[in-house]
Amino acid sequence: MNKTDQIREAYSNLTVNASNRQIAQETERIYGFKPTAQHIYNTLGSEAYRAAESFTAAQFLAVQETSRLFPNFKAYRDCVVMVHQLENKEKLGRKKVARDMTGR
């Protein structure tokens, strides 16, 4: 197995939106060599391109439309995190959701 195949194999063990750093760490953990960012780019494409493949066009359009309602990215991100936590409150438990939102 060549190094390109090893990078692909390591990437298959990770999530779709894994960063180049995570891919390099996983490759080093499994195969004992740490690929450069350029080697990962040549093998898998750019990190941004891989991230774009992890959502649908409908999801992109929904985010594009709703993001216009917020003054900056941090406010938008905080709102998305809160919605996600509220939707999953049964899994997280009410106290943990409240603690995560307040930071305490």
Please report, for the chain, the start and end positions of each structural domain, with discontinuous segments joined by +: 3-52, 57-102
* 3-21 burial code (b ≥16 CB/10 A, e <16): eeebbeebbeeeeeebebe
Q: What is the pLDDT along the chain (104 residues), one digit of tens a residue?
A: 899 999 999 999 998 788 999 999 999 999 999 999 999 999 999 888 887 787 888 888 888 888 888 888 888 888 888 888 887 775 655 555 555 555 55
Give the model's pLDDT for residue 82: 86
Tell me, what's the pLDDT at 69? 86
The pLDDT of residue 5 is: 94
SS3 83: helix
